[in-house]
Amino acid sequence: MKDCLFCQMASGSRQALTVHEDDATIVFLDHRPLFPGHCLVAPRAHFETLPDLPSDLVAPLFTTAQLVARAVEEGMQAQGTFVAINNKVSQSVPHLHIHVVPRNKKDGLRGFFWPRQPYEDDAAAKRAQEAIAAAVRRLRA
């Protein structure tokens, strides 16, 4: 898509601080990082969300994310990484991308997670389990 910022980066028509590229993916630094070294892993082709991604591109995308998680730890001398995907809600660019963020103990990352919402009882948890399992069966059929 010509108006998509990440498609422009993937095509080379817009500059990015690229850290890795291959036939299926592009990886670049987030311009508003949580911490220095915060990378975005995106498919070169335009897909808005993870459910939109064709199954044959899942392995290349996540193989690159795995590589970048290792590289961010090593390159940024981080103790670990936080890896996340937003689908629609909180997705500032409507092009699928995986955040790989360097993390260290006591790094001060707060407010990124929402309060946990426990199930009101075991029956409510069971209803959620059954609803999602039924949706998986329908989607796989």
Q: Which residues are catalytic?
A: 97
The gap between the terminal CA atoms of the chain, to the nearest Å, is: 31
Rounded Cα distance between 64 and 44, Å, is 12
Sign of CA dihedral 37, 23, 50, 136: negative
Q: Helix count (H) and strand count (E) of the chain?
A: 3, 5
Residue 17 carries which side chain, given as an amino acid letter?
L
Copy the structure tokens of residue 72: 């961010």
Q: CA of 43: how far to CAs of 14, 80, 83, 125, in Å?
A: 16, 23, 16, 35
